[in-house]
């Protein structure tokens, strides 16, 4: 394959390994996000953050 593409084998291996590790990292993020969606503490924190954000938007809108 490397001969047909005129690319050194080590470059092909390096690129393939990099893509593979990126894919593993992406799957780890997906798994961790799925885990926290069932955590009531995380949900409460997110909801509290949204309340603060909405209050900031209302305050900002009233100033204009």
pLDDT interval class at 16 (50, 70, 90): very high
pLDDT per residue over 21-61, tens digit each?
A: 999 999 998 888 777 777 788 777 777 777 777 888 888 88
Domain locations along the chain: 2-63
Q: Quick one: three-class SS letters along the chain?
A: CHHHHCCCHHHHHHHHHHHHHHHHHHHHHHHHHHHHCCCHHHHHHHHHHHHHHHHHHHHHHHHC
């Amino acid at each position: 394959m490397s001969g047909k593409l005129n690319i050194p084998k080590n470059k092909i291996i390096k690129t393939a390994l990099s893509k593979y590790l990126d894919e593993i990292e992406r799957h780890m993020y997906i798994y961790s996000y799925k885990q926290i969606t069932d955590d009531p503490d995380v949900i409460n924190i997110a909801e509290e953050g949204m309340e603060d954000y909405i209050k900031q938007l209302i305050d900002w809108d009233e100033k204009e």
